Amino acid sequence: MSDSGIGFSVKRFVIFIVLCAIAILVFEGMGEVGGNMIKDQVSRTTSKFHPEKNVEDRIKPAFVLEDKVAVASAASDSDASTADLWTAEDSCEQVIEGNDMLQFNIKEMKVSAACASVTVTLKHTGVMAAEIMGHNWVLSSDANFMPVATAAAGAGLENNYVPVGDDRVLASTAIIGGGQEISVTFSIQGLSAANAYTFFCSFPGHYAIMKGAFKVID
Ligand code: CO
């Protein structure tokens, strides 16, 4: 037992070394966690403004779309006739507005079969550029709406997102940006009150929301 003091010191020394090792590991771990947190924060902050990252987030309507949809569904629940709020007057001259929130202001157009020609004027009431939030007005039969809308993305902005030489496109305007206005005049002689037609914006992704019924009435 005479060397118990030395044995005790050795034990303490070993414990001290082990504690040191644990402390070093803990500090390294904390450093790594902290470093990663900073790295994450930096990448989140900088990628927000990167031209090729988070594009969807930046052009996504923040809240107004939900508002409008809620109002529209509430109205149609209470009274079916209030759907006319979204319907343009029966006229050979149609005016429709598009905005920065991916919306047309009407969901239905009615034109008389007696119209010698129909003029549709599209006004972009927003401020965003054509490359970011461009709108056009394209008309096709209901049956051709989806195929044309899908093919439109491949046509590119240089062709106003309208398939070139595609006779499924009954009428179309160029793509415009915020503050701009454009018109198209076309004959509806080939259209029939018996058929269903759809108008839409062919800017990629917009047709899902920016569309409506084009009705020819006798
Ligand atoms: Co559009």
Ligand 1 centroid – CA 42 distance (Å): 33
Let me know: does 111 contact 217? Beta carbons within 8 Å: yes
Ligand 1 centroid – CA 136 distance (Å): 6
Ligand 1 centroid – CA 129 distance (Å): 11
Percent of the chain with pLDDT over 70: 74
Residue 49: its pLDDT value, please?
Answer: 55
∠ Cα 151 72 84 (to 5°) = 85
Residue 53: its pLDDT value, please?
Answer: 60
Q: Which residues contact 68 (CB under 8 A, 6 or more apart)?
A: 101, 103
How sure is the predictor about 209, in pLDDT bands with cuts at 50, 70 and 90? very high
Percent of the chain with pLDDT over 90: 57
Q: pLDDT per residue over 32-86, tens digit each?
A: 877 777 777 766 666 555 555 655 555 555 554 444 444 444 434 433 333 444 6
Ligand 1 centroid – CA 79 distance (Å): 29
Residue 70: its pLDDT value, please?
Answer: 42
Ligand 1 centroid – CA 25 distance (Å): 56
Ligand 1 centroid – CA 203 distance (Å): 5
Q: pLDDT per residue over 91-133, tens digit each?
A: 899 999 999 999 999 999 999 999 989 999 999 999 999 999 9
Instruction: Say which CATH superfamily domain 88-217 falls into.
Output: Cupredoxins -  blue copper proteins (2.60.40.420)
Token pair recorded at residue 35: 């470093």
Ligand 1 centroid – CA 75 distance (Å): 25
Nearest alpha-carbon partner for 171 in 184, 160, 180: 184
Whether 13 has a pLDDT exceeding 70, the answer reads yes
Average pLDDT on 165-173 reads: 97
Residue-averaged pLDDT of the chain: 82
Instruction: Report the distance separating Cα 52 and Cα 54, nearest Å.
Output: 7
Average pLDDT on 17-29 reads: 82
Does the model's pTM come out above 0.85?
A: no
Task: Delimit the domains of the chain by residue range.
Answer: 3-84, 88-217
